[in-house]
Amino acid sequence: MSFTITGTGSYLPGKVVTNDDLTAFLDTSDEWISTRTGIRARHVAAQETVTDMAVAAARAALEDSGSTPEQVDLILCATLAGEYITPSLGCMVQKELGAHCPAYDLNAACSGFLYALDAAAGYFARGRVKKVLVICAEAMTRLMDWTDRSTCVLFGDGAAAAVLEPGEDLLSIHLSAAGNNDALCIPHVNGNCPYSGYDRGPASLMMNGQEVYKFAVSAMSKGVEKVAEEAGISLEDIALVVPHQANMRILEAARKKLGMPAEKIASNIDQCGNTSAASLPILLDQLSRQGRLKKGDLLALTAFGGGLTTGACILRWAKEKK
- x/- map, 155-194, ligand UT7, by CB under 6 A: ----------------------------------------
- 68-76, 205-213, 233-241, 280-288 -> range binding ligand UT7 (CB under 6 A): 205-213
- Output the smallest distance, CB 100 to ligand UT7, in A: 34
Closest alpha carbon to 311 in 238, 229, 212, 216: 216
Peptide bond into 240 cis (omega under 30): no
Q: Closer CB to ligand UT7, residue 129 or residue 154? A: 154
- Output the smallest distance, CB 273 to ligand UT7, in A: 10
Q: Closer CB to ligand UT7, residue 10 or residue 247? A: 247
Packing angle, helices 279-289 and 112-125, rounded to 10:
80
- Output the smallest distance, CB 32 to ligand UT7, in A: 4
- Output the smallest distance, CB 213 to ligand UT7, in A: 4
- Output the smallest distance, CB 82 to ligand UT7, in A: 19
Computed on alpha carbons and rounded to an integer, the radius of gyration of the chain in Å comes to: 19
* Binder among 16, 209, 289, 318 for ligand UT7 (CB under 6 A): 209
Residues 262-281 interacting with ligand UT7 (rule: CB under 6 A): 274
Contact status: 308 vs ligand UT7 (CB under 6 A)? no
Distance of CA 51 to the CA centre of its chain: 16
- Output the smallest distance, CB 167 to ligand UT7, in A: 29
Contact status: 12 vs ligand UT7 (CB under 6 A)? no
Q: Which of 244, 247, 272, 313 is catalytic?
A: 244
Count residues contacting ligand UT7 (CB under 6 A)? 19
Q: Is 272 a catalytic residue?
A: no
Query: Distance between CA 56 and CA 275 in Å, rounded?
Result: 16
Q: Is 110 a catalytic residue?
A: yes
Alpha helices in the chain (DSSP H): 19-22, 30-37, 50-65, 89-97, 112-125, 149-152, 209-231, 248-258, 269-272, 279-289
**Number of CB atoms found within 10 A of residue 178's CB:** 11
Q: Is 185 a catalytic residue?
A: no
Closest alpha carbon to 319 in 286, 292, 301, 296: 296
In DSSP terms, 160 is beta-bridged to: 10, 136
Query: Distance between CA 262 and CA 275 in Å, rounded?
Result: 22
Q: Closer CB to ligand UT7, residue 59 or residue 249? A: 249
* Binder among 5, 45, 103, 153 for ligand UT7 (CB under 6 A): 153
User: Using the 8-state DSSP alphabet, how is residue 2 labeled?
Assistant: E
- x/- map, 26-55, ligand UT7, by CB under 6 A: --x---xx--xx------------------
**Number of CB atoms found within 10 A of residue 39's CB:** 25
Q: Closer CB to ligand UT7, residue 142 or residue 149? A: 149
Q: How far is CA 199 from CA 84, 128, 183, 318, in A?
A: 21, 43, 19, 50
Q: Are 264 and 240 in contact (CB under 8 A)?
A: yes
* Binder among 82, 223, 305, 307 for ligand UT7 (CB under 6 A): 305
Q: Report the interface residues with ligand UT7, using CB under 6 A.
A: 28, 32-33, 36-37, 110, 149-150, 153, 207, 209-210, 212-213, 216, 246-247, 274, 305
